[in-house]
Structures are given as structure tokens and as C-alpha cells.
Amino acid sequence: MQQWKSLLSEANVGAVLWNEPLAKYTTWKIGGPADCLVVPENKEQLAELIALLHAHRIPWTQLGRGSNMLVSDKGIRGAVIKLGQGFEDYRFEGETVTAGGGLSLVKLSVLAGKQGLSGLEFAGGIPGSVGGAVYMNAGAHGSDVSRIFKSADIVLETGELVTYAAKDMAFDYRHSILHERKGIVTEAVFELQHGDRKEISARMASYKDRRRRTQPLQSATAGSVFRNPPGDHAARLIEEAGLKGLRIGGAEISLQHANFIENTGQATAEDVLALIEHIKETIAKKNGIDMVPEVYVLGER
């Protein structure tokens, strides 16, 4: 650890926070400390950081905006990388938008609508970053990132900066090439279409109203916990099994939407994991379906 401190303190990699608790950086409000949290502000700092970590075989994890993930109670060993505000820029050019990897996907969808550009309406309720959305091919309301993706600049785990086009991304349901080829999206370009501002606004308002009525937006959650099985819905299966409202420790299966797990105030990662395992076992026994989590579990167990 002392060697890491010397390496990172002497390098131009952005802010470095040691033994930093991660709960305040996640939407579940759960998570132990990172050995170090590094916040680069530009591509050069990020590339230097990753090259340094690679050269010294220091493991690293990207945090993003902290949604769709569960950080263990013991925290994460090695370096945790969170893109700084320098990665939240955006620019519109005709029907394309270029957005930094750290920019809120919700914010980008709102900005696009105000420009009279259609294609990002589906993203208005996905509480992640642009980079995270590309990584997992985020989607909702019958659309996803792959349908509008044009290209992305990515820093690979060697520190090399590359540009991937859509054909390079191996997009599939909640999947991209970045699941196999580790890297961080610094910015992405999306191809949108001119549309009627009122119609775009109406669609987004409709999606927002539906979320408000069906999802526990005021609670600490990480979004949908499980993927929808082919031809069915995870929430329906969980509710049918009578699991709504089940609580373990401070974690509770939402009474409003059965595919959400709420942190009622003092939930630990182990509480959430116990609920996830109970759901998996119950549905497997009752329906013969293997429920696949959408959330990523990070850190030391």
C-alpha cells in the first residue's frame, strides 16, 4: 500500500482519496471502503492512471455513478476509479451528440429532448452514467443504447486510448465487448433523429409518470435487481411467489415493485445478497427458472 501511495501521489492522475467509504457514492447507499478512490479529470490523467496501475499490477475497478451495483461491506481492494467532472461535457452537432463518459444519462436524455432530438427518451429513468450505459447496453421501454450508438473513445486496461464503432461493441441484451475487454468509456457519440419537441416531451413525461407510479423512486435502490426471463417479467414472478415485502436485516423487497430491493436505512450488502439468493432459490423451486441478477457485486467478500 505504501508503494501505491508513492506512485499515485507523484503521478498526474487527479484526486486520490485513501480508505474512502463507498456507501456515499452508490445509489443503494451501501459499501465498505476502497483502498484508494481516484478521480481523474481528463483523458490524459485517466490514461496515465490506468497505465500506471497496469504496469504495477494494481487491480482497479470503475465506480461510475454508483447505480446498478452492490459494493461489499468489506469494500474494494486496489484502486477504484470514478470519472471527475471533466468527463461530463457534451456537444450537439446536427443529429449527433457527443457526451462524456461521466455524464448522467438522465441529464443527456433531457438535453436531447430540448434540442428536438429523438432516440434517448428511453433513458430518462436510467440513473447511471453514459459510460455505464454503453458498458451494459442499458435499455428500457423497448429500446437500448445499441440502437443509437455510433462510436466511443475507450481507455483500455493497458492505458491505450482506442475508438470503437458499433460493429466493435458486440452489443447484446445488457452486454457489450467491455465485459470481456476491460476499459473505461471516456466519451460516446450517439446518432439521434430530429423530432417534434412536444411529442418527445410527452413520451418522456409518460415514461416518468409510469416510473413514479410503479417504482420506489424515493428509496435507496439500485434499479431492477434481476433480468426479465425470456417471455416473462422478473417482478411478476417474485410477486407471484409471495415475496413482496420480505425483509432481511435492513433490506426489503419493495412493496411497490417486486424487482427492486430497498435499503430501509441500515441495510448491509450481506442483507441484500441474502435476499437475492432467497429470491433465486424460491423462483427456481417454484418455476424452474434461473433468475439472473442485473446488478454487479463488487469487492471483497
Report field, pTM of the whole predicted structure over 0.85: yes
Q: What share of the chain is helix, strand, coil (3-state, %, to 5)?
A: 35, 30, 40
Beta strands in the chain (DSSP E): 15-21, 33-39, 60-62, 69-71, 76-81, 90-93, 96-100, 117-118, 139-140, 143-144, 149-156, 161-165, 183-191, 193-194, 247-248, 251-253, 261-263, 296-298
Mean pLDDT to the nearest integer, 123-128: 88
Query: Tell me, what's the pLDDT at 2?
Result: 66
Distance of alpha carbon 118 from alpha carbon 110, whole angstroms: 10
Fold of 216-293: 3.90.78
pLDDT band at 141 (very low <50, low <70, confident <90, very high): confident
% of the chain residues with pLDDT over 90: 87
Termini Cα distance of the chain: 20
Whether residue 1 is predicted with pLDDT greater than 90 in this model: the reply is no
Question: Which residue(s) pair with 15 in the sheet?
Answer: 39
Mean pLDDT to the nearest integer, 269-297: 97
Rg (C-alpha) for the chain, rounded Å, is: 20
Whether residue 209 is predicted with pLDDT greater than 90 in this model: the reply is no
Task: Find the Cα–Cα–Cα–Cα dihedral 94, 100, 104, 106, rounded to 10°.
Answer: 20
Positions marked active-site: 174, 224, 294
pLDDT: which is higher, 287 or 67: 287
The domain segmentation of the chain, as residue ranges, is 1-82, 88-200, 216-293
Task: Find the Cα–Cα–Cα–Cα dihedral 213, 142, 262, 299, rounded to 10°.
Answer: -160
Query: Tell me, what's the pLDDT at 124?
Result: 87
* CATH class for the region spanning 1-82: alpha beta
What is the residue whose three cell numbers read 457534451?
90
> pLDDT tens digit string along 12-26?
999 999 999 999 999
* CATH class for the region spanning 88-200: alpha beta
Question: Which residue(s) pair with 143 in the sheet?
Answer: 140
